[in-house]
Amino acid sequence: MNNDGLMRTLVVQARLRWRNPEDNRAHLEEMVSRHDGAVDVVVLPETFTTGFLGDEGIAEDMQGPTVAWMRSMATRLNAVVTGSSVIEDGGRWNRLLWVEPDGSLQHYDKRHLFAHAGEDQRYSAGAERKVFTYRGWRICPQICYDIRFPVWCRSRDDYDLLLTVANWPSTRAGAWRSLLQARAIENQAYVVAVNRVGEDGNGKNYPGISVAFDPLGEALLEMGDEEALEMVTLELDKVRATRERLPFHLEADAFGLKP
């Protein structure tokens, strides 16, 4: 077990199969198997089983094959496996699943549904911002469109890593990088964001360009537009040192969130 304050994070920038959970699980497992070495967290894209809005006629719940597969992978890798999938559980959710090596599971339901593409007509919107703790780290999960809403993403001195999974289209690729870098700078936190590549069944193209930024907003990882695996190592001491040297968070405005 890693207790050295490092978070070895494997970014899985995948070309997803449209509406084909079984093939996507097999393909992602094959991709991850190419990595040789220790890893703490494996990050898959948003809606990694179907592609974005590709779940028509496909129903899974928390006892379904995707959750079981993630538990199996997490145990085998001795690492967290995370990514989002469409889940039916008292509603239909775009749900980020966070599965630890011991099989324990937490989740975050996407708060900001992309009405421009009709996502709000398909799923329920989450209401609860989450922070997961793992091996000394505090991790705030977000899904794609959430990153456009800095109040929702704002640290209340309660996280060290903002983790984002996405199906972010090529038409807005410039905004992707700018928004993520801004979230890192304003929150003095690491940001790791994983996007998919390729074209989906609706003819939308996705550019990849998965990224990681440090607590000063400096780029640690900038991937291209091809399917690929990349490892980025995060240092918890760097978060603490940045906030001690530049304690901007102490002057942050108080605020509240309405439902």
CA dist list (Å): 184 to 78, 149, 159? 28, 13, 11
Q: Which residues pair with 139 in a beta bridge?
A: 132, 161
1 pLDDT band, cuts 50/70/90, is very low
Task: Report if residue 257 sits inside a domain.
Answer: no
pTM of the model: 0.97
Task: Report if residue 226 sits inside a domain.
Answer: yes
Give CA angle at 155 (241, 259), nearest 5°.
Answer: 170
User: Domain containing 59: what range?
Assistant: 6-247
Which of 60, 100, 144, 153 is an active site residue?
A: 144
pLDDT given at position 3:
72
Task: Report if residue 53 sits inside a domain.
Answer: yes
Task: Report if residue 256 sits inside a domain.
Answer: no
Q: What is the mean pLDDT of the chain?
A: 97
Express each pLDDT in 127-171 by its tens digit: 999 999 999 999 999 999 999 999 999 999 999 999 999 999 999
The answer to whether residue 230 is catalytic is: no
Which has the higher per-residue pLDDT, 144 or 256?
A: 144
Which of 110, 119, 140, 153 is an active site residue?
A: 110
Which of 46, 60, 100, 119 is an active site residue?
A: 46
Q: How many domains does the chain have?
A: 1
Express each pLDDT in 54-112 by its tens digit: 999 999 999 999 999 999 999 999 999 999 999 999 999 999 999 999 999 999 999 99
Task: Report if residue 95 sits inside a domain.
Answer: yes
Helix axis angle, 65-77 relative to 21-33, nearest 10°? Answer: 10
The answer to whether residue 110 is catalytic is: yes
Task: Report if residue 146 sits inside a domain.
Answer: yes
Query: Which CATH number covers residue 124?
Result: 3.60.110.10
